Structure 1
């Protein structure tokens, strides 16, 4: 178990994860679908890319057995602009330190901060820039289960992603202490 009242963390990126980008006209001949955001009227005019966020993702994220945490360069603006679009409450935010030293070759600049922020708790990191270097680095340094889940930025979070996330989070939430959910 993750401890009484302490579900696994889910570190959530925004760009490429909630806001898809980069698809070619061949992949999406009509372009990206856009949504009216009932939770944040007028947000699409202020930040046009917010129209790409499917508001239905909010309920799906809230239903996952975890503690959601923003892990995005939007930082606190994610609570101002993204959370209302999704109908989510204000979430904790990972603030990125100024990097004093370069991360090891190939390691994402977020990886070390997320590992420290988790303070040993099981976690999922959902991002479009995760690589095998990040996976290996976390596997060798984190004492509890961690899932680094890469999302295809051209389509953002999909049903398949939610299936993987939900299954992993439920398995970790029911696992005895010390098991490895990787």
Structure 2
């Protein structure tokens, strides 16, 4: 378990929270991404969102299938430094094995157990667009520290109301 003076963790997904699926062509935050330079959805990244995330005072961790590519492709476009990356085992085989072994109930997101393990009792926020009721129950039962599982509307991405919710929760923690 970590010490009480450490910053809370913030596990951050990319698709949905940072790259909204519902952004219209007129709602572009970043510079256009030439077709030969990768994913055209990267133009939906808000270049100022990295500073807002850093201002929360959390220890940021990528919790995305982008894995290390988030550091190479997403972080520079939104002003984040290189972040630690939550690594996932072979997702399909792992999820099937967990279900067969009775390690996870149906409806539990495949990231949930790994993120609780990573947190190791430390306060954490998980920002994702796929968080459900089973994830909340699992974390409440299996994580001894404070946690906030914050579901972001994938059509809109992280917005002011989301930052207000994150900041409000962080203020409920003991002074850091």
Output the TM-score relative to the length of structure 1.
0.83
- Separation in 1 of the partners of 2:114 and 2:146? 17
8 A Cα contact 2:30 2:45, kept in partner: no
Q: Give the alignment of 1:154-165 within 5 angstroms.
A: 154-165=155-166
Aligned-partner Cα distance in 2 for 1:44–1:164: 38
Tell me if 1:34 matches 2:28. yes
Corresponding residue number in structure 2 for 1:63: 55
Does residue 107 of the first structure (1) align with residue 100 of the second (2)? no
User: How far is 1:42 from its partner?
Assistant: 6.2
Partner of 2:146: 145
Q: Distance in 2 between matches of 1:81 and 1:101?
A: 32
Task: Could you tell me which runs of 5 or more consecutive residues in structure 2 were left unpaired when the two chains were aligned.
Answer: none
Q: Which has the higher helix share?
A: 2
Q: How many residues are paired up?
A: 166
Q: Where in structure 1 do 4 or more consecutive aligned residues deviate above 6 Å? A: 41-44
Distance 1:48 1:107, change over 3 A: same
Unaligned runs of 5+ in 1: 176-182
SS at 1:101's partner residue? helix
